[in-house]
Amino acid sequence: MEDASDVSQNTSAQERMILRRIELSAASIGRLINVISVIAGLIALIIILSVVVIAVSGRGAIPPELSNWGGIILGFYFGQFVNLVKDYMGIINAVDQVRGNQQDARS
Q: For 25-69, how does the pLDDT look when each residue is reduced to its tens digit (9 = 90+)?
A: 777 777 887 888 788 788 888 888 888 888 889 888 887 777 777
The CA distance from 99 to 93, in Å, is: 10
In a domain, 5, yes or no: no
Which of 37-41, 43-47, 80-84, 102-106 shows the lowest per-residue confidence on average (mean pLDDT)? 102-106
Q: Is residue 7 part of a domain?
A: no
Percentage of the chain surpassing pLDDT 70?
65
Question: With bands split at pLDDT 50, 70 and 90, how would you rate the model's confidence at 8?
Answer: low
Sign of torsion, CA 90 96 97 99? positive
Residue 62 in domain: yes
Residue 107 lies in a domain: no
Looking at the structure of the chain, the number of domains it has is 1
User: The whole model's pTM is what?
Assistant: 0.49
Please give the residue range of the domain that contains residue 62: 12-102
Question: When comparing pLDDT for 83 and 28, which is higher?
Answer: 28
Residues near 99 by Cβ (< 8 Å), separated by ≥ 6?
19
Tell whether 53 is covered by a domain.
yes
What pLDDT is attached to residue 9? Answer: 61
pLDDT band at 92 (very low <50, low <70, confident <90, very high): low
